[in-house]
Amino acid sequence: MKEIYRVSVIGSGSWGTTLSDMFARNGIETTLYVRNKDLYKTMLQTSENSVYLKSIKLDKRLNLTNSLSFAVEKSDIIVISIPVKYLRQSLEALKGYVRDDHIFVSSSKGIENDTFFRPSEIINDVLSIDKDKIAVISGPNFAKEVARQLPSATVLASSNKNIARMLQQLFNNSYFRIYTSNDIKGVEICGALKNIIALASGISDGLNLGHNAKASLITRGIAEMTKFGLHFKAKKETFMGLAGIGDLVLTCTGDLSRNRKVGIEIVKKRDINRVLDSMVMVAEGVNTVKSVFEWSLKNGVDMPIAKGVYEILYNAKNPEDAVEELMKRPLKSEF
């Protein structure tokens, strides 16, 4: 392992910008790739991402570039922070610049429609990267709070213990505590499915169903997530940790949650397209629920919360009717 690493972050949304700023503050030579030329120029002038991370001044040591080849060639570690919906297309553009010694870290959360690939699987599929050189990071982390240097914890998963420990030491600091894991499947499944439950949580809040409903939804949500994960041989304990219940609680209750916000707005506008058109950032749960619901149908796995959210988003089901259907399901033992 090298002693000095250079990091490039691909994706200048709120999380990609936050991570790159944090790495620079850690003293790591860091480059953030900004695809949008207008945003790139503005960030050079103001040291601020006014579109995705307003009022946060970025570290002066952070390098910005509009050149993808420069960003990739200048790095040893490539952090991918791109919505899953656009991930494959973005990775295709990297193909000619990636080296065999590159280490990839995915911070993307979701499951690709059609292929049903997780982010690490998309990276491997497009770039043919050794799976031991792909890590994932996920946890209860609102970008704006991390950018403000408020205390946060997260999980970094890799099948390679040496790479996991190296990244843990490199990225960890006084306000961002990193735990390691070897359960890539579990961490990515948690990061994807918690957004579906957050959509349901927003719908619950939009309908003013109260705290009892919220607590019940979160609890049954983690049960549904765990059941799904076990089908893929993920580790049960991962769902009880930061990437699972930790991120689920945050996303279902926090006002900065995009997916919860979409759920609230769905109740008001009753039209998912109108809701999404009004948002700057991507709510990953909207695409993920389609993948997950279609998979559950094909494989005969009962996922009532995902089914209810899917019916509301894609079949214009009345949210009140979806709630009533959930409550009237056949009675059973909790475990």
Residues known to be catalytic: 194
SS (H, E, C) the chain: CCCCCEEEEECCCHHHHHHHHHHHHCCCEEEEECCCHHHHHHHHHHCEECCCEEEEECCCCCEEECCHHHHHHCCCEEEECCCHHHHHHHHHCCHHHCCCCCEEEECCCCCCCCCCCCHHHHHHHHHCCCHHHEEEEECCCCHHHHHCCCCEEEEEECCCHHHHHHHHHHHCCCCEEEEEECCHHHHHHHHHHHHHHHHHHHHHHHCCCHHHHHHHHHHHHHHHHHHHHHCCCCCHHHHCCHHHHHHHHHHHHCCCCHHHHHHHHHHHHCCHHHHHHCCCCCCCHHHHHHHHHHHHHHHCCCCHHHHHHHHHHHCCCCHHHHHHHHHCCCCCCCC
**Residue 177 token pair:** 């505590």
